[in-house]
Structure 1
Amino acid sequence: MNSRILAVAALAALLTFGTTPSEALNNDHLVYGYECQKGVCKKVELSEENFSKAISLPVCRLFCGEDIGTLWPKPTGAVELERLMKQVDVSNIEIKLLASRKKDNLWNNVENRWMDLIHAKIPSRKSLNNGGYELNIGVTLKEQHDGLPRLTLVTDESYNLSIDSAADGQVSVNITAENFFGARHGLETLAQLIVYDDIRREVQIVTKASIYDAPVYKWRGLLLDTARNFFPVKSIKRTLDGMAMVKLNTFHWHITDSHSFPFEVPKQAELYKLGAYSPRKVYSQEDVADVVEYGRVRGIRVMPEFDAPAHVGEGWQHKNMTACFNAQPWKNFCVEPPCGQLDPTVEGLYNVLEDIYSDMFKLFNPDVFHMGGDEVSVNCWNSSQSIRSWMNAQGWGLEESDFMQLWGHFQEKALERVDRVANGTRTPITLWTSRLTEAPFIDDFLDKDRYIIQIWTTGEDPKVKEILKRGYRIIVSNYDALYFDCGGAGWVTNGNNWCSPYIGWQKVYDNSLAKIAGDYEHHVLGSEAAIWSEQIDEFTLDNRFWPRASALAERLWTNPATNWRQAEARILMHRERLVENGIGAESLQPEWCLQNEDECPIDAYDAQN
């Protein structure tokens, strides 16, 4: 028996707390447990003979095997665990901010959420055995500053976590971080080192541990389109809850599109009064502020996108600032109905944009602002006589390069308004890959020190390296691995939707940004998975994001050298944690596979035969 198994066997003996095998086996407790055998948790039927060795599945997965099976994403730094557990008195847990920092409303919300994570582990308060040790958690922030913390591209999200036990049994946890965001991540990891033992019916914590952790990539995000279908705030908050559990840090809010304009802009009320699906389907300024703060508590920046000059329509009907609005046949002017693009030649357009930008900057206070730039149609602009006349008056032609110059004109004037509402701050701007991000137009119109390019083509598209070698920073959202709406029925034709088939979590996990970027990985900020919501709404949101978004989270936080196969047993455990916290995550396998580790994968079967 190796040292790991001895430690786990000793652990079970330590944890009985007076419960004898006869008592456990003669009441309504479980009649099976787990033993660590050759690095795998094996299900065993409990008996008088093996009761002292048997432990619950979460405890077994903490210590059995090469990885800590309850931690997701895996830490990137050194991890040391003493393979013993102690019962925690859940009524006697205290979180203290050290270095004389007083708790404010933000930290009170962080603490309340953390306690909710712990209580979610307990299936029933009636089933919980009383007793256990006091748990004291101390949090030290090296940066002390007034005001609300703000996540930026240079924020240090690292943390150190240590757990120790005093002679009297009291358990002490110390989390040290540069700032709020790292400390919050440390608390998230701590919650995953606390488990519910359903054999002994108690909450348990590792008695001694030391972890250093920091993310590989700065930008770890999810995009949600709330314009094709409206998502109530409560469903957006569930998404933020799931993101916090896996240390994703960016919620990219694609809040408007040609289909609807649900964002309240008081100075341009016509936009949302005409553009929303109904008065109930508007994000008020209070709603947006609520989502932004909810995200902050969970260590998440909420970044708005106002997609332009294409992807506008509903709400703009009477402003005389658009081209090809709801034009038919739509396939001649846009990629899906309804069509619509802003008319860059209308001078008054930029005052309207300034009002939109102003409210977005006031509510979101973004460190990065997304200006869209997706799927601009030359045919759309060319269908407008007024646009053609304006271009001819400038001495331009009507070739593609001339329309790219028109787009560059729009981008320059719109960016001036962004800078104005940002009080002159040169906020980094994100744009989608497009014709404008290809040579020669990218060199003519987009400053590499100002623009971040979000890649949505395939991961093998040679255009990606063309962007990178010019020195542009990128965010990777290659649709062949990270568009989570792929794999449904067609909605403008028969058959399946355009980017089918469905993308499994395995492909998400193995989507290597280093491979995509090659020698230019240092220009990669990170990645986002996207849900474009033509065929998804609040009722199907959770199982489209989860647990596939968790696979992305580990790729971005840890960037593991191993592939999905080594993560399979761990993600099954992690999916259970999502569900116990109210996330409707998709089931990946029968529960039997969760309880019988390594007996479902076909490669394990082949190895035995």
Structure 2
Amino acid sequence: MSARFLILCSLILTLFSCTKPQVELLSPSIIPAPQSLQVNPGHFTINKETTLSNHDDFTASYNFLNNFLEHATDRTWETKYSDNNAIVLEYDSTITSKEGYHIVSTDRNITIKASTDAGAFYAVQSLKQLMPVDIAHRTEIHIPAVTIKDEPRFKYRGMHLDVSRHMYDVDFIKKYIDAMAMLKMNNFHWHLTDDQGWRIEIKKYPKLQEIAAYRDSTLLGHYNDTPHQYDGKKYGGYYTQEEVREVIAFAKARHINVIPEIEMPGHAQAAIAAYPELGCTGENVQVAMKWGVFEDIYCPSEETFTFLENVLDEVMELFPSKYIHIGGDEAPKTQWKSSPIAQQVIKENGLKDEFELQSYFIQRMEKYLNSKGRQIIGWDEILEGGLAPNATVMSWRGTKGAIEAAKAGHDVIMTPTSHAYFDYYQSENENEPLAIGGFLPLEKVYNFNPIPKELSDEEAIHVLGVQGNIWTEYMTTSKQVEYMAFPRMLPMSEVAWSADENKNYDSFINRVEYFHKRLDAMDINYANHLYEIDGTLNENQAYELSTKTIGKEIRFTTDGSEPTATSTLYESPIPFTADMTLKAQVFNDDEPLGRLFSQEFLYHKGVGATISINKEPHKSYSGSGAAALINGIKGSDSRYGDREWLGFWGEDIEIEIEFETEIEVKEIELRFYHAPGQWIYAPKKYYLRTESLKGTINISEINHLEPLENVAISNNSIKRIKLELDKKEEINIIRKIKIQIPNYGIIPDGSQGAGNKAWTFIDEIIIN
């Protein structure tokens, strides 16, 4: 089916009606891709006489379709039980999937079949995408004759939005939910509380609105910038309970469940600022003004549990969701270690340590929610110290948590940073707006496989689905949220909905190019990187350029000048044999599209050598493999997730570089990414060993143990370490280099990720 779908979505179908005039229709371009789509001869024409026929009272679907058509065509639509010149909604008990549907479009009518209102609603979303974008004021709307049979791959298809770091009005929340519905997503994860602000009205605790909802100032620039600077402006707000009900009703009409997140036991500084007795120190604290992880967490006292139960009572009264998200992530244990209350709880309940105390805390809250007929979801840290009996795990720190939970019989939702964190950069272009870090392009989202290979078929049943996350530390406006969410929400919807065998990235890109028109019509400020150029160095030491959209050409220069329509046309890989500055641009005829591509090449002595590493990079940050460390291309100075950076989590590594013949080496430069806010630390020490044909590997050994503060720093993110070799000839003339890089170790208390293993990120090893 995938080959057929690719053909359908990359060609223009010219269809003729049996009478004049000629009708031209675009091939169906639906996102997410249906399970089965067949184009038939002919077309259906919506005109002023076309009616709606709601045979089986699919209320929400009918109302949504009717409102859409009335707004788009500027006329009132008649509901008439007819099977001629009508759009018919019809119940079909043979459709066993609760969210599945069929669409049959002929020259006579359009029939939507489903066994539930949800299935009919998703059919309506597909029908909208069969229509032209600009249907307003048309006297006729032509829809290709098609047969579609469709159902989702996963039952949980989610998008998350953090409103604690920055807050957005109700109109935008509705717009965000509307876009989710268009893409057949069915769970909106609303992150309402955190250290930087409490965003939901709780009537029993008015200080949450008066104090916890506002911070005195906000961090300027990036967390990794030093020294930290602030804007000095009070910031905050909260959603009233009436506004929350309004959002929930809006989402319900679109078959979207709203899951509230009330963080515990960590990320609680805002609440503790309002009610200091909830903390372990009793001291007054402020609502956090910068991002990160803070020591102030809920103390496991009876007063705290009463507070949280009362809060959750009001939350449950508002939210009908089966699931309540209780966070559970990044909870430092420092204050618990010195708290008499915490230590007494450990003793009285026979707990081993503070990790088991966190498990006790989560399990106690789970029992309370279970008693009210609800279930908890938590981030994968809730596995630490023992998982609550009925908990569902959101696996964000890779897939390990999901594997562990699923093997233990717990449901999991896949949302790893590597493929689902839309606060990461989506382009390697240096002009991208400020983001937290990382690199997550459209293609990587699309290629996400939510089922870990470590799971058996029986265990894989516990993977409920996937979720894209929007953390908003660096998104001050709703337009910036849109820029980061779109178009990456599109491939995530296809990961969640479409059968794996139906996925084809080339087909998807062609559909995205057309889909941009829909986003324009919805006034969504999406990021358009379709016309950007991708570059890779092949095994023959030549640089290959490509762009994903078809029918375009690439022109380039190698002298640093900007390409024009008359510059060299790219037709084959560009040899890399000397330093050069390559610039390239996509052109459609003579018109430049997208952003200028630029790449610096440094032809040092390591280029072309043989390299190996004793450990595999983490699969989420494998870059271009070991060869990327000596390919003459530096990784980005502002992000760590591109194809040049290799990431290792908590591992000591040893790198070996071997040359074809002995060469003279005077210095070696190492580049490490250093971003404590993202758990990434340059090494404290490193070892260099060289070998020549004149002796064994021990002929020369250089150990470097300088502390980081003595290492040259190019900016706040990159640690550059230059190793100058001894001038003695027997040391300079070498055949092999070995570099040992011990991991930084465990992240210290008071830092983000405290208690976890640090990441090591390394890119180009420059040999001169």
Task: Report the TM-score, using the length of structure 2 for normalisation.
Answer: 0.59
Q: Percent identity?
A: 21
CA drift of 1:241 comes to 1.3
The 5-angstrom pairing of residues 410-449 of structure 1 reads: 410-420=361-371, 422=372, 425=373, 427-434=374-381, 436-438=382-384, 441-442=385-386, 445-447=387-389
Structural RMSD (CA)? 4.1
Quick one: which amino acid aligns to residue 107 of structure 2?
S
Alpha carbons of structure 1 residues 515 and 601: separation in structure 2 relative to 1, 3 Å: farther
Q: Return 502-511 or 480-489, whichever deviates more.
A: 480-489
Question: Could you tell me how far apart the structure 1 residues matched to 2:426 and 2:323 are?
Answer: 32
Q: Does 1:409 align with 2:356?
A: no
More strand by share: 2
Shift of 1:437: 0.9
Q: Deviations over 1:333-355 (max 9, x none)?
A: x98155431111x2122222122
Q: List aligned pairs for 1:364-375, cutoff 5 A.
A: 364-375=319-330
Return the offset for 1:165.
2.5
Correspondent of 1:471 among 388, 399, 409: 409
2:119 maps to 1:182:
yes
SS at 1:540 equivalent: helix
Distance 1:305 1:283, change over 3 A: same
Q: Does 2:487 correspond to 1:547?
A: yes
1:85 matched to 2:43:
yes
Aligned to 2:529: 588
Counterpart position of 1:574: 515
Q: How does 1:215-230 map to 2 (within 5 A)?
A: 215-230=152-167
How far off is 1:304 after superposition? 0.9
- The match for 1:140 is 90
Structure 1, unmatched stretches of 5+, are 18-51, 63-67, 121-132, 144-153, 167-171, 490-494
CA contact (8 A) 2:44 2:107 kept: no
Structure 2: distance between partners of 1:108 and 1:279: 41
**Aligned counterpart, 1:565:** 506
Aligned to 1:74: 33
1:262 to 199, 210, 230: 199
Say yes or no: does 1:323 pair with 2:272.
no
Structure 2 counterpart of 1:126 = none
The separation in 2 between residues aligned to 1:347 and 1:93, in whole angstroms, is 64
Corresponding residue SS for 1:550: helix
Cα 1:253/1:532, change in 2 over 3 Å: same
Segment of structure 1 superposing worse, 579-588 or 538-547: 579-588
**Structure 2: how far apart are the matches of 1:330 and 1:584?**
31
| 1:87–1:202 CA contact under 8 A, matched in 2 | no
**d(CA) in 2 for partners of 1:533, 1:474:** 24
Alignment-derived partner of residue 169 in structure 1: none
- 1:545 shift after superposition: 0.6
What displacement does 1:240 show? 0.8
* Aligned counterparts of 1:202 and 1:255: Cα–Cα separation in 2: 46
> In structure 1, how many angstroms separate the alpha carbons of the residues matched to 2:482 and 2:277?
39
- Give the counterpart of 1:235 among 144, 167, 172: 172
Q: Distance in 2 between matches of 1:233 and 1:325?
A: 35
> Offset at 1:136?
1.8
Structure-2 separation of matches of 1:10 and 1:392: 73
Superposed, 1:116-265 pairs within 5 Å as 118=72, 135-141=85-91, 156-166=98-108, 172-195=109-132, 203-265=140-202
- Aligned to 1:377, the other structure's residue is in SS state coil
Q: What SS class does the counterpart of residue 533 from structure 1 fall into?
A: coil
Gap change, CA 1:155 and 1:264, over 3 Å in 2: farther
Contact 1:323 1:384 in 2 (8 A): yes
Matched residue type, 1:367: K
Equivalent of 2:550 in 593, 597, 606: 597
Structure 1 contact 222–528 (Cα < 8 Å) conserved: yes
Amino acid at match of 1:548: R
Which AA in structure 2 matches 1:98?
A: H
Change (3 A) 1:385 1:402: same
Q: Which residue of 1 aligns with 2:756?
A: none
Question: C-alpha displacement at 1:237, in angstroms?
Answer: 1.2
CA distance in 1, matches of 2:479, 2:12: 42
Deviation at 1:113, TM superposition (A): 4.4
1:451 shift after superposition: 1.3
**Aligned counterparts of 2:469 and 2:324: Cα–Cα separation in 1:** 17
Distance 1:580 1:534 in 2: 28
CA separation of 1:587 and 1:8: change in aligned 2, threshold 3 A: closer
Task: State the TM-score, normalized to the length of structure 1.
Answer: 0.73
Matched with 2:317 is 362
Query: Unpaired runs of 5+ in structure 2?
Result: 1-6, 75-82, 215-233, 428-432, 534-545, 556-568, 575-768
Give yes or no for the alignment of 1:289 onto 2:245: yes
CA-to-partner distance for each residue in 1:56-105, whole Å, 9 max, x for gaps? xxx23x1xxxxx4x1111111x322224335422x444333213x385xx
Query: Which one has the largest radius of gyration?
Result: 2
Q: Go from structure 1 to structure 2 and tell me whether the alpha carbon gap of 1:525 and 1:265 turns closer, same or farther (over 3 Å shift).
A: same
What displacement does 1:467 show? 2.6
Cα distance, 1:187 vs. partner?
0.6
- Distance apart, 1:319 and its partner CA: 4.6
Could you tell me which amino acid in structure 2 is paired with residue 430 of structure 1? I
Query: Structure 1 residue 273 and structure 2 residue 210: aligned?
Result: yes
Aligned mates of 1:226, 1:410 — CA distance in 2: 25
Structure with more contact order per residue of length (Cα contacts < 8 Å, sep ≥ 6): 1
Question: 1:533, CA displacement in angstroms?
Answer: 1.1
> Which of 234, 242, 262 pairs up with 1:306?
262
